[in-house]
Amino acid sequence: MITGPHRIAPGVHLLRAGRTAVAPNVYLLGSGTPWVLVDAAWAGSAEAVTAAAESLFGRGTTPAAIVLTHIHPDHCGAAGALARTWRVPAYVHPAELPMAAGRYLPEYPMPLDRWLVAPLMRLLPRRTRARIEQAGDITDVVRPLEPGGGVPGLPDWQWVHTPGHTPGHVAYLRRSDGVLITGDAAATVDLNSVTGVLTGRQRPAGPPRYTTWNWPAAVRSVAALAALEPRILAPGHGLPLTTGTAGALHHLARQLDRPRAGRLRRLRTAVAAPRYGGAGPYRPPPPLYARLQWIGHALTRLRLSPRSVVTLEVPGRRSGVVRRTNLVLLDHDGEQYLLSLAGQSQWARNVRAAGGHAVLARGRRRRAVTLVEVPVPARADIVRAYLLRGGRQPGHRKIAREADMYFGLTGEPTPAELAAVAPRYPVFHVTDTAPHQP
């Protein structure tokens, strides 16, 4: 729910796009016409933003321009709809333009994209993915801000490049009274803290790390904002800060610049991409992957995961509770196999304890199967078939990548190399369980 606009400085009105601590802020600048919209909140916010503008500036009003701090869906989601309705452009820093198409760009990755959004998007059908990307495409209305810091429609304001959260993130400053709109370069609620998100406790904070492109650059940008000596901080998230603003930003810059090696090391460990190659008998996946397995199960249930992915259901060998694991069902020489990429994994041990009896599920279909472990000498050929699955030809770039990631082998492995590592990887032949005969 979006709350009504309220004045925080002369000609500066804040519209909060929700009631939670993480709600994005929208700013309407001007005391009449012309006026300018800064940021546009989520995609469903267009109607509420229009209503707020009409309550301030009159029915049928249109702004001179829309200016964005950056292109993230909680700040530009409604920009396309509003710009097309009002027939005005939406301005961003030139470095932000590549992101206007609404697609994941590997050259501009943020952690949440790498860990969650991009993997999930790859699992979606191509047409579904295209519809999602098209909905976020604002290339038809976006324009670059002019060099020199001038803001369209606001001669008394200037834009300041604050890269880090995104490559082209900008803040907007009115020097006459020190009003500074920071977007996500600085907030007044700590979105990196569970306590901050749940309680909404107000305090100066840096951008959310999980959606930040370059953290060192983001820290430098906080220091650059502090150097502007603002008197009012109007953040992208949280309430405005109106007292001790410059000092609070200087303190935040020093705080963010402190070494956080230990915490960062733990974070990288938690979210690192799974690398199962190695000599150990079992290589568990990173903790975050384990916690997010339910998403894969849901996608398979909805038939949104790749066609070869199934959910294996087998009772836990100690608890008896059904354990679910998403796996690739490999077709090879007219037979089907499941390969344990993590070595002596928990699901492989559970299958043995259950005598091979399990269920494979995809969508509404549930298939009772018997899994028979393949002898070691026969595994290498099946491992090779796994690397060549999906019609890949020798030399395909994914073969070398998966050989390294899953089997600890460099380049395209030879049959001898695959035979050498095969003992570490249980393989199960899948057969349908015969119906019980009375």
Model pTM score? 0.61
Q: What is the rounded radius of gyration, in angstroms, for the C-alpha atoms of the chain? A: 27
Question: Would residue 234 be called left, alpha or beta, if left means φ above 0 and alpha means ψ between -120 and 50 degrees?
Answer: beta
CB of 187 closer than 8 Å to CB of 206: yes
CA 244, 247, 253, 254: dihedral to nearest 10 degrees?
Answer: -130
Amino acid making up residue 120 = L
Tokens of 28: 């309407």
Q: 355: how many CB neighbours lie within 10 A of its CB?
A: 9
Q: How far is CA 26 from the centre of its chain?
A: 22
Neighbours of 360 (CB within 10 A): 21
DSSP state of 343: B
Sequential DSSP letters for 88-131: --EEE-GGGGGGGG----TTS--HHIIIIIHHHHHHS-HHHHHH
Q: Which residues pair with 426 in a beta bridge?
A: none
DSSP 43: G
Q: One digit per residue, pLDDT tens: the chain, 438 residues? A: 456 799 999 999 999 998 887 899 999 999 767 899 999 999 889 999 999 999 999 998 999 999 999 999 999 999 999 999 999 999 999 999 999 988 777 767 777 766 676 677 667 787 777 777 777 899 999 999 999 999 999 999 999 999 999 999 999 999 999 999 999 999 999 988 877 777 778 889 999 998 899 999 999 999 999 999 999 999 999 999 999 999 999 999 999 987 654 455 554 544 444 555 555 566 666 666 666 777 888 888 888 888 899 999 999 998 889 999 999 999 999 999 999 988 899 999 999 999 999 999 999 899 999 999 999 999 999 999 999 998 898 888 889 888 888 888 878 899 999 999 999 999 999 999 855 433
CATH class as words, domain 282-432: mainly beta
- Dihedral sign for Cα 249, 215, 66, 200, please: negative
**Per-domain residue ranges of the chain:** 6-257, 282-432
CA distance 205 to 249: 9
Q: What's the CATH class of domain 6-257? A: alpha beta
In this chain, the answer to whether the domains covering 6-257 and 282-432 adopt an identical fold is no
